[in-house]
Structure 1
Amino acid sequence: MPEQVNPPSLPLTWRPVRARYVAYGFAALIVVGAIVMALLISEPFKLPDKIMIVAFGCAVAWVLHRLGRVRVEADEEGITLVNALRTHRYTWPEVLDVTLLEGDPWPKIDFSDGMTVGAMGIQGSEKARARRATAELESLIRAKGEASE
Structure 2
Amino acid sequence: MSQAQTPVLPVTFRPGRTRVVLITMSVAIFVVISVVAVLLERLGPGERASFFFTAALLSGILALLSRPKVVADDEGVTVVNITRTRRLAWAEILKVNLRPGDPWVFLDLSDGTSLPVLGIQPGIAKEAAIRDARALRALADSRGTGAEQTA
TM-score, length of structure 1 as denominator length = 0.92
Distance 1:144 1:94, change over 3 A: same
In 2, Cα distance between equivalents of 1:41 and 1:58? 18
Q: What residue in structure 2 maps to residue 81 of structure 1?
A: 79
Q: Is the 8 A contact 1:96 1:110 kept in 2?
A: yes
Q: Is the 8 A contact 1:3 1:135 kept in 2?
A: no
3-12 or 31-40, which deviates more: 3-12
User: Identity over the aligned pairs, expressed in percent?
Assistant: 35
Give the CA RMSD over aligned residues: 1.6
Gaps spanning 5+ residues in structure 1: where?
A: none
Secondary structure (helix, strand or coil) at the match of 1:42 reads coil
Are positions 1:104 and 2:102 aligned together? yes
Tell me by how many angstroms 1:18 deviates: 1.6
Q: What residue in structure 1 maps to residue 3 of structure 2?
A: 4
In 1, Cα distance between equivalents of 2:58 and 2:50? 12
Residues 73-102 of structure 1: CA deviation (Å, up to 9, x unaligned): 100110011111211111111111111011
Q: Is the 8 A contact 1:3 1:131 kept in 2?
A: no
Residues 2-35 of structure 1: CA deviation (Å, up to 9, x unaligned): 9621321100001112211111011001110121
Q: What residue in structure 1 maps to residue 55 of structure 2?
A: 57
Distance 1:3 1:51, change over 3 A: farther
Where has structure 1 moved over 2 Å in runs of 4 or more?
none
Residues 34-73 of structure 1: CA deviation (Å, up to 9, x unaligned): 2101101132x21111111111111111111111121111
Give the letter for the 2:19 counterpart: R
Secondary structure (helix, strand or coil) at the match of 1:110 reads strand
Q: What residue in structure 2 maps to residue 68 of structure 1?
A: 66
TM-score, length of structure 2 as denominator length = 0.91
Distance 1:66 1:79, change over 3 A: same
Are positions 1:135 and 2:139 aligned together? no
Alignment length (residue pairs): 147
